[in-house]
Structure 1
Amino acid sequence: MTGTAAVNFHANAEKIFGRLEAVENEIAETGFDKPLHHLVKLRASQINQCAFCVKMHIEEARKDGESQDRIDRVIVWRHVRDFTPSEKVALAWTEALTQPDPKADLGPLRRELREHFTDREISTLTAIVAMINLWNRIQISNH
């Protein structure tokens, strides 16, 4: 291998990879809304400019019945009527955790989240966002 070649995370960190997959399985078992799960992963992957993950999450969302119109417009979710209020606040949370602003007060956003989700669901949503950001960074390391 040359010094600049990508490092194969999966092959070189098998145990870690397996544990990350186990976390993903735990998240899936919570019963969190599957279409929203896809939208959150897609939006974070767009922000992180992870082409591999964007493609994968578009395909997964389509497979699970998400409309192409909503997939196409998730990048501009604030400016369209395609998304419900609960989806919009989840996407706002996704953006807040993916591109943190050190000056941001997340209190009002948490209040809005609680209008649509239980604390358990907010915790799951937070885990989804954290995990996709981690996966994006692993994948980006291969660019």
Structure 2
Amino acid sequence: MTTTTTDSARLDFYKRAPGVYQPLLNAHIAAKKGLGDDVLAELVLIRASQINHCAFCLDMHVKDAQKAGVSEERIHLLNAWEEATGRYSAKEQAALALTEAVTVLTDGFVPDAVYERAATHFDERELAHLISLITTINMWNRINVAVRQPIGGGA
């Protein structure tokens, strides 16, 4: 894969598609607020952004996670959360497993076991907000990767 890095995006997507930007932002804010756990939300946002190789979102959400009190160790080990024994709660692990399953749909459907694991830690309202948050970060990632939104560039 050949990529180039620049100080500007290929396309000022958010200026050219304001009718997409604002509803997506509103959905993202509502999903995060409805989840009610900033630390968990930032872990999910970082993990999806790692999978999708979105440098713009990784930069943003690592900083947000730090502000929310997530330790450097937990941020650095997130890419290997399953092997990082004792670093993530059972609830966080369930959310991260669901994040991976929803993000990597090319592997097939979200497995029942993954969904049921999450459902043991989240009530239906929380689960709906978690799925919404995973979905919105995937959309942000895909837009930012497609237009090569530079790190620190405004959305």
What TM-score comes out, normalization by structure 1 length?
0.90
User: For structure 2, which runs of at least 5 residues remain unmatched after alignment?
Assistant: 1-8, 149-155
Aligned to 1:109, which of 91, 95, 114? 114
Q: Does 1:57 align with 2:61?
A: yes
Q: Distance in 2 between matches of 1:124 and 1:6?
A: 32
Aligned to 2:29, which of 25, 41, 65? 25
Match for residue 84 of structure 2?
A: 80
Kindly indicate whether the alpha-carbon contact (under 8 Å) linking 1:45 and 1:132 is maintained by their aligned counterparts in 2. yes
After superposing on structure 2, the runs of 4+ consecutive aligned residues of structure 1 that deviate more than 4 Å are none
Identity among equivalent pairs (%): 34
Q: Does 1:142 align with 2:153?
A: no
Q: Residues 28 and 91 from structure 1, CA distance in 2 versus in 1: closer, same or farther, beyond 3 angstroms?
A: closer
User: For structure 1, which runs of at least 5 residues remain unmatched after alignment?
Assistant: none
Higher relative contact order (CA 8 A, sep 6+): 2
SS at match of 1:79: coil
Aligned to 1:123, which of 112, 125, 128? 128
Number of matched pairs: 138
Root-mean-square deviation (CA), in Å?
A: 1.4
